[in-house]
Structure 1
Amino acid sequence: MIRDDEHKQEYYRALVDKKSEYEGVFYVGVKTTGVFCRPTCPARKPKYENCEFYATSKEALLASFRPCQRCRPLSHPNQVSELVTQLVEAVENNPEKRWKEQDFKALSVDESTARRQFKKRFGMTFVEYARARRMGLALKNIRSGEKIIDTQLASGYDSSSGFRDAFSRIMGASPTLLEDSKVLKAAWLDTRLGPMIAIGDESKLYLLEFVDRRGLELEVERLRKRTKSAIIPGLTEPIQSIEKELTQYFEGTLTEFKTPLFLMGSPFQKSVWEQLIQIPSGETRSYADIAISLGKPTAYRAVAKANGANQLAIVIPCHRVINSNGELGGYGGGLTRKKWLLSHEK
């Protein structure tokens, strides 16, 4: 989300004036309607305080906004193909759907063609688009902090059943069936590098990830299945603690996190994560270095796999592990973030 006041005011003026030169520069999410639009949308203009501005459509989707039916920001006939229009509409007809090969065949659509056209037009594949829409729905009430029941009718469905499906498939329970379950709470945290989701109970933090991380949906599902929990919106002491510590970290006043953590992994994975925590801020290690420190010098590939399975971004600093040749290597939150974090810590 764009937070700079100068840019926000500039974009709002462009929105009011319907300036076509801003097409592709930003999207606007309207909090009162739950939709996001192009700068030239013909609809009545919202008040400034009800607008949120995004650089990409994916950011708007993950922030729980759905495409406007008037300006069709993802399927304007002058900008995209009939195939893209067809698929965007298919997602809106069933936004909680997980797309599989047979679903493309049912629409007589070639999956590779859909992937290529979406990637070219929106910078993400169709499956990534559908996932972002689905995750946006599941994160909607977490982001707003409202009770689930209060957001059902605002989620874009004619009834509450679709919302419950989208939420429960990821978070683990229908909102009316939580009484008999162990409950974890989830909160949306805005950070300098983009929004994150934090999940924890009353004593420990279980998950901290960037909302746009690839595979987040599966991470959340795996967490709630292994802990046999339901996940609902809310705050706990560890979540409040990590929110405060992240603010200090990004301000440059904190280098060591104290929030209590719940490490959910195998003994080997936990041993790797414990080594990561010991890497001083401002320094890096290679996968081989970690393997040697564990007394298993040939296990660097296993170390890399355990590194990628970390569910507590920044706090367990997997971003401080790089390739032996000095290259950054991978990072679930994206290499741009990894580079920024390393630079920030130095």
Structure 2
Amino acid sequence: MILAEWKEEYYQALLEKNTEYEGVFYVGVKTTGVFCRPTCPARKPKFENCEFYETAKEALLASFRPCQRCRPLSHPSRVSDLVRQLVEAVEAHPEKRWKDEDFRQLSVDASTARRQFKKRFGMTFVEYARARRMGLALGNIRSGRPVIDAQLAMGYESSSGFRDAFSRIMGAAPSRLEENRVLRAAWLDTPLGPMIAIADEEALYLLEFVDRRGLEREVERLRKRTKSAVIPGFTGPIRSIERELAQYFDGRLTEFTTPLRLLGTPFQQQVWTRLRQIPPGETRSYAELASEVGSPSAFRAVAQANGANQLALVIPCHRVINANGDLGGYGGGLSRKSWLLKHEKQEGGAYDAYSNQAN
């Protein structure tokens, strides 16, 4: 989803059919269920009926179908005839589950289709068709239709097969999906490697390095605890943390202000709050941190709370070390922990200068 402050700008571009915004956003129209390019010649919807997306995949997973007038996925100047042909075939039968025989009937090489879709849309043709099918299923379930109806409409005879496929795409079994319980996940590049950010429209739930051991289990626990689906996309908090991470790595950030949703026990949240009070460039031992939260003998519990932190960098568990000065553990890897501590220490003067300038 697009940040609120950008929506008016994008809506104005939509009204003006401004070609400079081609590829920058797509607009989903709630009243028609279609999504369009900024230059679509169709009659313009009211602002309150618009949802803006950065990618076509986001719009698909939000249950919108491609507009037949502006053809957002098959504009002649941007995609090949093969891609356009396959997009039109999917729209003719969006519930279809594609097999090798279907490609042969269209005289299309399946591996070529895979490569061209991956290059153009960042997903294979099968992933596109599945996202389109499951986006419709999500829309049906959210509108109050029984799960069995969504299952049959999407061409699944087996309820278990439908649940498995739905869960792989949406991150939650259809019977557990609740209204407004969708979290977005985005890939963010940083100097220390890519991170995954998960958030709703209000707050950030998770920020971790993609290669962190056990990340899949973390995401699964988050899904279960919030009873949410996790699907690709951006929200305001994700855009916020993306900007703040850039400032952090530039040495210009005094503190992270992106809204957070902390899911932990009262003791864990107490530890996380104290962690956020450790200034950049400083460290604490586990024993010192335990004393600061009023439980001097609970340094092992403090260490466990550190390990349960799902908001890397924002809740700076990398600033906690062993009493003898050794780095101790870190979910993102000791090399990253060492780099972060050196970065914060070296940038200490820059942090102070930037803080004074901001004040």
Short-chain TM bin = 0.5 to 0.7
Matched, 1:251 2:259: yes
Larger radius of gyration: 2
Residues 118 and 256 (structure 1 numbering): CA distance in 2 closer, same or farther, change over 3 Å? same
1:270-296 deviation line (CA, Å, top 9, x unaligned): xxxxx99882324789xxxxxxxxxxx
One-letter code of the match for 1:13?
Answer: Q
Partner-residue secondary structure (3-state), 1:77: coil
One-letter code of the match for 1:280?
Answer: A
How big is the alpha-carbon RMSD for the aligned residues of Structure 1 and Structure 2?
Answer: 3.9
Equivalent residues in 2 for 1:25-36, closer than 5 Å: 25-36=24-35
Equivalent residues in 2 for 1:1-346, closer than 5 Å: 1-4=1-4, 6-142=5-141, 145-148=142-145, 162=153, 165=156, 170-171=162-163, 184-187=175-178, 188-191=180-183, 193=198, 208-212=228-232, 251-252=259-260, 254-256=262-264, 279-281=307-309, 282=315, 321-322=331-332, 326=336
1: distance between equivalents of 2:97 and 2:200? 23
One-letter code of the match for 1:185?
Answer: R
Task: Give 1:2 shift.
Answer: 1.0
2: distance between equivalents of 1:82 and 1:189? 38
Residues 257 and 3 (structure 1 numbering): CA distance in 2 closer, same or farther, change over 3 Å? farther
2: distance between equivalents of 1:66 and 1:276? 46
Preserved CA contact (<8 Å) 2:183 2:230: no
Task: Give 1:106 shift.
Answer: 2.5
Q: Which consecutive residues of structure 2, in runs of 5 or more, have no partner in the other structure?
A: 165-173, 185-197, 202-218, 234-257, 267-302, 310-314, 319-329, 338-359
Residues 53 and 103 (structure 1 numbering): CA distance in 2 closer, same or farther, change over 3 Å? same
1: distance between equivalents of 2:95 and 2:155? 10
Q: Share of identical aligned residues, percent? A: 56
Residues 279 and 111 (structure 1 numbering): CA distance in 2 closer, same or farther, change over 3 Å? same
2: distance between equivalents of 1:326 and 1:105? 49
Task: Give 1:22 shift.
Answer: 0.5
Task: Give 1:14 shift.
Answer: 0.4
2: distance between equivalents of 1:78 and 1:166? 39
2: distance between equivalents of 1:186 and 1:106? 37
1: distance between equivalents of 2:262 and 2:199? 19
Q: How many aligned positions are there? A: 218
1:248-289 deviation line (CA, Å, top 9, x unaligned): xx733635069xxxxxxxxxxxxxxxx99882324789xxxx
One-letter code of the match for 1:170?
Answer: F
Preserved CA contact (<8 Å) 1:26 1:55: yes
1:26-63 deviation line (CA, Å, top 9, x unaligned): 00000000000000001100000000000000000000
2: distance between equivalents of 1:86 and 1:71? 15
2: distance between equivalents of 1:253 and 1:127? 34
Partner-residue secondary structure (3-state), 1:211: strand
2: distance between equivalents of 1:112 and 1:326? 38
Preserved CA contact (<8 Å) 1:18 1:40: yes
Residues 146 and 124 (structure 1 numbering): CA distance in 2 closer, same or farther, change over 3 Å? same
Task: Give 1:123 shift.
Answer: 2.1
Partner in structure 1 of residue 255 of structure 2: none
Residues 45 and 206 (structure 1 numbering): CA distance in 2 closer, same or farther, change over 3 Å? closer
Preserved CA contact (<8 Å) 2:181 2:229: no
2: distance between equivalents of 1:96 and 1:43? 26
Q: Which consecutive residues of structure 1, in runs of 5 or more, have no partner in the other structure?
A: 173-182, 214-249, 259-274, 286-319, 328-346
Give TM-score scaled by structure 2 length. Answer: 0.51
Partner-residue secondary structure (3-state), 1:36: strand
Preserved CA contact (<8 Å) 1:138 1:167: no
